[in-house]
Structure 1
Amino acid sequence: MTHTNSVSSFTPYLAVFDLDETLIAADSASLWSAYLVEQGIAPASLLATEQAMMADYSQGNMDMNVYMTATLAPLVGMHMDEVANLVDDFITSHIQPAIYEDAIARIQWHKQRGDTVLVISATGEHLVTPIARLLGADDALAINVQLDNGIITGNTTHTLCYQHGKVIRMKAWLEDNPKMFKGSYGYSDSINDLPLLEAVDRPFAVNPDPTLALHAQLNEWTIMDWRHDNNILR
């Protein structure tokens, strides 16, 4: 995938990163559901529901519309500003301790080269955008949350940033971005991101699930093992 809208004296690469289990040693959406239960905003039953749907995700069979409806339900009627305040606290308490040091190093490696770093995640934008900013990404694509005068409706908008939808959203982003890229890198842990990894020039499987690991081996993709000692799940 090479994008050629304009020409400059220096041509960077585009570095595309999945978020959950790739840049962080956890799933941000699952942690967020647990956080909402801790705060008394969501019922405890959400955890069992979310866990069952995440089992489908690991097999590449999740219905993302159903998932988003269930996980956005506790936020319906809340103003996005109120949610943003909760997200700030959530990032400090749950996300920062889960960040892979190797992920930060890889992002910095790209930035030092002059590359553009784009996070693409199948998680709601209310979580992904501030997390991507914390990680030093230049931009982020995520599942768009519908607002009515700043109030969360519980619905989503646009193409869901999930499986092949990530490729659709990335291509639309490239069309809107005036920069030319020499080529593209892609990083993910999940078989759900196979379409995305096949759409970039240089795919990397990061701590891949078994199905993606097999695909990476058969196609001679680089497999990266990212670990750290401060994983909050330990």
Structure 2
Amino acid sequence: MTLAIFDLDNTLLRGDSDHAWGRFLIENHIVDGEEYERENERYYAQYQAGTLDIMEFLAFALRPLALHDRATLDGWHRRYMQDKVLPMITPAARALVNLHRANGDTLVIITATNRFVTAPIAEEFEIPHLIATEPEERDGRFTGKVAGTPCYREGKVTRLKSWIKEQGLTMQDSWFYSDSHNDLPLLSIVDHPVAVNPDDILRREAQQRGWQILPLR
């Protein structure tokens, strides 16, 4: 069965869900606005530049989850979906997913953003499989730490290969859609790599390698 694998941020979404979650926390006075905004922007710039220390960033990004109970977090997330996420979902993104659905492909979102933020987004797209960075939980609460390998850069390849083995699937005829040069390790091993609204580095790589470039906005 063919795998159709989608990056989430700036690919299926017209924006970054992790960054937008940070903005939501700031706007609703859940975190210290000035300090958190400064750090949120700093880490986002590092991600775009390809210099992000993923463990350092996750220590920052997962900390607010550890400070509140799950019911409170889930309530905030429902508002976040309405205020931030739904406006970032375009008809073109839904159409792309539905095209692969109609073909009978296995649909997967793979994202560096943590599962708490992204699981409801995958549900909104009706994509049944999500491979995301896993926030550690203990006794029904998040600890602020990461469980397992972060789903970032080469970690995406590691996590995908492990998931494929568990599912009894193969990479044959696989598709992967991404906007970011951070996903070059995974784009390089699928049969159909597609650069979606690519950043400058990925655009150059896609042009040199003859990969499809897809404007999705």
The question of a shared fold, defined as TM-score above 0.5 by the shorter chain, is answered with: yes
Which residue does the alignment assign to 1:51? 41
Verify: 1:140 aligned to 2:96, yes or no.
no
Which residue does the alignment assign to 1:104? 94
Distance apart, 1:181 and its partner CA: 6.2
Whether the aligned pair in 2 keeps the contact of 1:133 and 1:139 (CA below 8 Å) is no
Verify: 1:202 aligned to 2:192, yes or no.
yes
Which residue does the alignment assign to 2:79? 89
Deviations 1:86-140 (A, max 9, x none): 2122111110111122111110000001001100001011011110111121210
Distance apart, 1:37 and its partner CA: 1.3
Which residue does the alignment assign to 2:51? 61
The size of the alignment, in residue pairs, is 216
Distance apart, 1:25 and its partner CA: 0.7
Which residue does the alignment assign to 1:5? none
Distance apart, 1:76 and its partner CA: 1.6
- Select the residue among 155, 161, 169 that pairs with 1:171: 161
Which sections of structure 1, spanning at least 5 residues, go unmatched? 1-11, 228-234
- Select the residue among 120, 133, 142 that pairs with 1:152: 142
**Identity rate, percent:** 34
- TM alignment of 1:117-128, pairs within 5 A: 117-128=107-118
- Select the residue among 9, 14, 17 that pairs with 2:3: 14
Q: Is the partner of 2:56 in helix, strand or coil?
A: helix
Whether the aligned pair in 1 keeps the contact of 2:176 and 2:190 (CA below 8 Å) is yes
Whether the aligned pair in 1 keeps the contact of 2:115 and 2:134 (CA below 8 Å) is yes
TM-score normalised per structure 2: 0.96
- Select the residue among 210, 213, 217 that pairs with 1:223: 213
RCO higher in structure (CA 8 A, sep ≥6): 1
RMSD over aligned Cα, in angstroms?
A: 1.2
Distance apart, 1:180 and its partner CA: 5.4
Q: Is the partner of 1:165 in helix, strand or coil?
A: helix
Aligned partner letter, 1:197 = L
Instruction: Decide which structure has greater helix share.
Output: 2
Mapped to 2, the partners of 1:180 and 1:143 lie a distance apart of 22
Mapped to 1, the partners of 2:81 and 2:99 lie a distance apart of 24
TM-score normalised per structure 1: 0.89
Mapped to 1, the partners of 2:6 and 2:167 lie a distance apart of 17
Which sections of structure 2, spanning at least 5 residues, go unmatched? none
